[in-house]
Amino acid sequence: MSLFLKLLKYDIEYTKKYWKYSVPFYISYLLDVAVFLLMNYLLKQLVDSAISGELHNVIFYTAFFLLSVTSRFVLVFLGDYISDLYKKAVELDLALRIVERRVEGPSHPPGEVLSRVTADLENAVYAIATPLWLFFVVGDVAAVALFAYWLQPLSLPLILPFAALYAVLMKRVGPRLLDARSREREAYGGWFKRLKEAVEGAHSLHRLGLRRAPKLLTDATATYFAKFKKFTLYSRSIDYLLQAPAQVGPNFVFAVALLLALQGQGTVGDAVALRNSLNGLFLPIGHLMSTVGSFYVMASSFLRVEPLLRSAQPRVVRGAVAYLRDAVFSYDNGVVVEVVGEVAVEEGDFVWVRGPSGAGKSTLAKALCGLVEPAGGVAVAAVDCVYVGNDDYLFDATVYENIDLWEGRPRGDVEWAAAAAGVDFPLDKRCGEGGRELSEGQRQRVLIARALLRRPRLLVLDEATSGLDKELETKVLQAVRQAAKAVVVVSHRDSPAQYSNKIVEVREGRAYMVTVNKGVGGDSSAQR
């Protein structure tokens, strides 16, 4: 029930947000039900008039019957069209929310996010739309059932066994379908991940002389197909079970109604209208059953998508300066960094973080910006901190757009940031997807310009100048030192040494501050 209420909450939220689609859809649905009942009443009168030879009534009821059929066709078209627009609007909105949550705090790998969006998002939308839809479908079934009862009171008892049989089957098969769907989606995610890796690493395999898909992909393919077969068996079984009551029920009741008409209990018009009504009754019942049956599938997709809609911002304390004391941090790759004593970054500081690869320098740098939650100790992240990593992304747009990020900042500010970062190539040059149209050094300068444009209180550069030559790196560091109030540079090179008043050493997962006694640009002596 908690899942249903959660879906209902989303459903109401989007019904209000996109009322221009949702309200017309529900109105068209209600009108369609009303016209359907009127159409069957006219059909009853038409058949009875034809049997009794009342020509004028036949012409009259025929005209209005055809008009009702045409009206219903138009209403169904409008309902389907508006419904498609509504569901697509919700789907796109959910996709934007997922991206926004990932921007707030990336807690899921990109491949996992993409696989869930491509494989589960559409089904998640159907799950969200289910609660209110069920209310209307139940109302539709009730209205048609009452009309059928008015035509022939025995019709409802005759239909109930079909519905009861389906309910029993659904109770048995439904949970298995949910489990099979969950396993199938999990296997799909694993297959998609391996497919993505194989596509991105294909050039490396080719260079090694390999000409076949890697075994990890073929194994994942076999696993996914096995799970898919099991899920499809359950899914198709339910689909065909749904067709049985819809085909047998109305014709069975029609035959009984004709026998009753021969005995004077009703008319042939009643029987014909009853059959047509029950066909219409089983349409919403089919929708209802299909919705209930598919709900297990859709709910599984929603449960996979819903975590992506929750904010994953690290819970950190922020202050005017970055301050760490005996703090412990761990990150995605499992690297653990323990701060020995204190590490503080204040206004005017230029801090060089050094140490061997894999020691935890990046984890420490992210901690200063509040991108990593502390597992212990005291950790205060800097307010208004910008972190620039070597893995930061450039969009398939111009250099100018990648610096401004479509925020509409003054052009003069963008040009200043570009010049400060040493961007000496045209701002209208396209970067390509991920920046592949740029050299490594060009890409890094665009990333630094992007950060400088935000004029942060603390700027953290994590190996963000590794692609620059010595001379250009020196110029960029000089500009960064003048533009930002405080700077932290993570680098294997010793270029930052001439500007640093503090050095943080990171080795074997332990970080400690080094006191530097020097003048800016002069020789330094460091003491631990």
Q: How far apart are CA 334 and CA 336, in angstroms?
A: 6
293 shares its domain with 372: no
pLDDT mean across residues, the chain: 82
Q: Which of 256, 287, 309 is the last residue of a domain?
A: 309
**DSSP of 166-193:** HHHHHHHHHHHHHHHHHHHHHHHHHHHH
228 shares its domain with 293: yes
Chain position carrying tokens 């099991």: 230
- The pLDDT of residue 239: 66
Chain position carrying tokens 């970054």: 345
The highest-confidence range among 177-191, 224-238, 326-340, 455-469, by mean pLDDT, is 455-469
432 shares its domain with 473: yes
Q: Rounded mean pLDDT of 220-247? A: 79
pLDDT surpasses 50 at 205: yes
Cβ atoms of residues 514 and 340 within 8 Å: no
pLDDT-based confidence at residue 418 (cuts at 50, 70, 90) = very high
pLDDT surpasses 90 at 67: yes
Cβ atoms of residues 485 and 457 within 8 Å: yes
The highest-confidence range among 156-160, 282-286, 345-349, 368-372, by mean pLDDT, is 345-349
pLDDT-based confidence at residue 16 (cuts at 50, 70, 90) = very high
pLDDT-based confidence at residue 86 (cuts at 50, 70, 90) = very high
User: At 215, which amino acid appears?
Assistant: K
Return the sign of the alpha-carbon dihedral for residues 508, 512, 516, 522.
Answer: positive
- The pLDDT of residue 135: 83
pLDDT-based confidence at residue 376 (cuts at 50, 70, 90) = confident
- The pLDDT of residue 485: 87
Q: Residues of the chain with pLDDT > 90: what percent?
A: 19
Looking at per-residue confidence, does 168 or 307 come out higher?
A: 307
Looking at per-residue confidence, does 240 or 255 come out higher?
A: 255
327 shares its domain with 285: no
Q: Residues of the chain with pLDDT > 70: what percent?
A: 86
Looking at per-residue confidence, does 31 or 185 come out higher?
A: 31
Q: Rounded mean pLDDT of 313-322? A: 70
Q: Rounded mean pLDDT of 138-155? A: 81
- The pLDDT of residue 429: 92
321 shares its domain with 305: no
Structure tokens at 360: 């935890």
Looking up residue 447, the CATH number of its domain turns out to be 3.40.50.300
Cβ atoms of residues 512 and 341 within 8 Å: yes
SS3 53: coil
412 shares its domain with 324: yes
Cβ atoms of residues 318 and 202 within 8 Å: no
- The pLDDT of residue 519: 44
Question: Which helix or strand (DSSP H or E) is residue 322 part of?
Answer: strand 322-330
The highest-confidence range among 295-304, 310-319, 409-418, 430-439, by mean pLDDT, is 409-418
Q: What are the phi and psi torsion angles at 458 (to 5°)?
A: -130, 130
81 shares its domain with 30: yes
Runs of H (alpha helix) within 306-398:
361-368
64 shares its domain with 115: yes
Q: Rounded mean pLDDT of 222-238? A: 84
pLDDT surpasses 90 at 77: yes
Q: Rounded mean pLDDT of 83-89? A: 92
pLDDT-based confidence at residue 242 (cuts at 50, 70, 90) = low
189 shares its domain with 102: yes
Q: How far apart are CA 189 and CA 113, in angstroms?
A: 10
pLDDT surpasses 90 at 446: yes
- The pLDDT of residue 139: 85
- The pLDDT of residue 1: 53
Looking up residue 200, the CATH number of its domain turns out to be 1.20.1560.10
Q: Rounded mean pLDDT of 229-242? A: 76
Cβ atoms of residues 182 and 300 within 8 Å: yes
Chain position carrying tokens 């209930």: 292
User: Where are the extended beta strands (E) located within 166-285?
Assistant: none
SS3 486: strand
- The pLDDT of residue 175: 66
pLDDT-based confidence at residue 521 (cuts at 50, 70, 90) = very low
364 shares its domain with 445: yes
SS3 per residue for 55-115: HHHHHHHHHHHHHHHHHHHHHHHHHHHHHHHHHHHHHHHHHHHHHHHHHHCCCCCHHHHHH
386 shares its domain with 496: yes
Q: Which of 280, 309, 338 is the last residue of a domain?
A: 309
The vertex-234 CA angle with 84 and 130, nearest 5°, equals: 30
297 shares its domain with 336: no
- The pLDDT of residue 526: 43
Pick from 183-187, 224-228, 283-287, 355-359: least confident:
283-287
Domain around 52: 2-309
pLDDT-based confidence at residue 473 (cuts at 50, 70, 90) = confident
Q: Which of 281, 309, 337 is the last residue of a domain?
A: 309
pLDDT-based confidence at residue 153 (cuts at 50, 70, 90) = confident
**DSSP of 494-510:** SGGGGT-SEEEEEETTE
- The pLDDT of residue 331: 60
Q: For the whole model, what pTM was predicted? A: 0.70
pLDDT surpasses 90 at 12: yes
Number of domain units in the chain: 2
